[in-house]
Structure 1
Amino acid sequence: MKLECISMKGSGKSNEDAYVIQQVKHVYAVIDGITSLIPYENAAGQTGGAIAAELVKKQLEAMPEDAALHDYLETINEALQEQMRQSGIDLEKKEALWGAACAVVRVGDAHIEYAQLGDCMIFAVYEDDIVRPLTHTQVSHLEQAALTKWEDGINEGLCTRTELSERCMDILIHNRYQANGPGGYGVLNGDVACRDFIEYGRMNRVGVKALVLATDGLFMPRALGGAQPKWEETVLPIVHKGLQRYTDELITLENNDPECTRYIRFKKSDDKTGMILYLY
């Protein structure tokens, strides 16, 4: 099976994404680390989000072949809780928790198993270019209010990312407190409630030519005043052009809009990790 993978740092200090390629076990994953609101760095300078992403990566690489993906994500969540405890993190403070979103697949001869938390996505692409999302961006219903407030700020004359970020910060902070909570979204952050947010399943692979896994930094952003791009506008260019060319073009778009006023997003450039698995 042919595959292409990319992982690139965005405009932040470090790349808090990670990925898993276990060809013998047929397990593949993308991971998006989420830094705590209370700043944390270990002795090596890693943020909590980077530490969480690395832990999820190592745990998935060590996953037994007979483990159920959704059950194993719960096991990983427990391991993350223990690592935070050993690092002196106050587990009662949601703003102190490290976190990670994750999308993982196991590709069998006849079936594809998958599990997901957060806003990492998995897509099946069929021979006729039909794109089937296997997952849902669990934070989209919360982010929409902030994106709308961001766009309203632009329309009112704000023209820098700093001004726009300050305008939306209250919503962004509020959203972080909704992790693994009622009406919120799922994330690996040591909270046992994450088990209620793990999405998982199995599909047959008849007619599927490719699987695409992506962290949210690869999603095509919405243009000011425009409609939200359909998943096909992200996934099909990735499949047809390849990940590298798609990513290069997306970064060019971002570099031409450093203040995030032409394309609505919270960062000039988010970390980008993606994978295409060509099934035949």
Structure 2
Amino acid sequence: MKVESFFSAAPHKRVSEDSIVLNEKINVYGVFDGATPLIPFKDENGMNGAYLASNIFKDYFFRLYRSTLSLVEGIMAANRMLREHMEKYKVNQAKYENLWSTCAAIIKIEKDGKIAYAQLGDCMIIAEYQDGTIKALTRDTVKDISYRAKAWREEQRKHGVKIPDEVYYQDRTQQLIFNRSLANKEYGYTVANGKKEVFNFIQHGQVNIGEIKTLLLMTDGLFHPKYSIEETFKKIQTIGLDVYAVELGQYEKSNNLRSDDKTGVMISFCEEVRSL
């Protein structure tokens, strides 16, 4: 099994709000993407809620996760730790915009020849099958969230719910605050934010290791504005994560595009592993 990884902070950030876990002892690999906070908060080390959320998950799956647990159980355990950390710092968790939160994509290679996976948000898991088919195992639930939030507001107004006119949500901050209120709800998106509701929205499943040639786990910072997720996979497979990330960063800079933290793990399975 060959494991390639990449981890880099965006140019405008002091530290990355992403995190990565490469737990070779129990064959657990994951990427986590903390959601940039809307409310200012720094701990005693100067770290914000996004950094803390993603690193709480990283630390859990590297140090505390037991291989006898399912990935869903692991996510819920890490989510409880996240809630406890917010309680420690007296974060008002009644307001969704205050919550520390993180997206996640995790896989575990089981001893029975299965690969378990679990996902939240816009971290993605893409698989290349033995026949050459490239398929996303997960769905990006953050995509089009602002469009769906607007549709939800329109639906609520029809039912007599008093919600400000859309001109109010032209303010970017107000739009983002409202979007955060839809975390782990029908019209919203999925994310670990300390709330118990996340349990109902974790995407998870299994694939047979014998069917899989390559797996890619990535945060949205590696998404290319001109490529589909399958095209992105092919590009990374051809030139490698490091070169792809550098080229993407150069493309973003030359086109005045916002650059985000970039984290990815590509796992290629040799014939001996696939025959388990």
What SS class does the counterpart of residue 105 from structure 2 fall into? Answer: strand
Q: Which residue of 1 aligns with 2:80?
A: 78
Q: Name the amino acid aligned to 1:106.
A: K
Q: Which residue of 2 aligns with 1:44?
A: 45
Give the C-alpha shift of residue 167 in structure 1: 6.2
Q: Which residue of 2 aligns with 1:174?
A: 178
Q: Which residue of 2 aligns with 1:117?
A: 120
Deviations 1:51-95 (A, max 9, x none): 111100011112101101111111111110010000110111111
Please tell me the root mean square deviation across aligned C-alpha atoms, in Å.
1.7
Give the C-alpha shift of residue 278 in structure 1: 0.8
Q: Which residue of 1 aligns with 2:188?
A: 184
Residue pairs, 1:9-20, within 5 angstroms: 9-13=9-13, 14-20=15-21
Of 188, 193, 200, the match for 2:204: 200
Residue pairs, 1:16-27, within 5 angstroms: 16-27=17-28
In structure 2, C-alpha distance between the alignment counterparts of 1:4 and 1:47, rounded to whole Å: 28
Of 228, 231, 253, the match for 1:230: 228
What SS class does the counterpart of residue 140 from structure 1 fall into? Answer: coil
Give the C-alpha shift of residue 230 in structure 1: 2.2
Residues paired across the two proteins, number: 247
Percent of aligned positions with the same letter in both sequences? 35
Question: TM-score, structure 1 length as denominator?
Answer: 0.83
Q: Which residue of 2 aligns with 1:257?
A: 255
Contact 2:148 2:187 in 1 (8 A): no
Give the C-alpha shift of residue 186 in structure 1: 1.3
Contact 1:129 1:236 in 2 (8 A): no
Contact 2:136 2:230 in 1 (8 A): no
* Unaligned ranges ≥5, structure 1: 147-165, 223-228, 261-267
Deviations 1:75-119 (A, max 9, x none): 111110010000110111111110000010001352110011111
Deviations 1:123-154 (A, max 9, x none): 111244321111000111314579xxxxxxxx
Give the C-alpha shift of residue 170 in structure 1: 4.2
> Is residue 7 of structure 1 aligned with residue 10 of structure 2?
no
What SS class does the counterpart of residue 190 from structure 1 fall into? Answer: coil
In structure 2, C-alpha distance between the alignment counterparts of 1:220 and 1:86, rounded to whole Å: 38
Residue pairs, 1:120-199, within 5 angstroms: 120-143=123-146, 168-199=172-203
In structure 2, C-alpha distance between the alignment counterparts of 1:168 and 1:91, rounded to whole Å: 22
Of 212, 215, 240, the match for 1:211: 215
The 1:88–1:169 alpha-carbon spacing in structure 2 relative to 1, beyond 3 Å, is closer
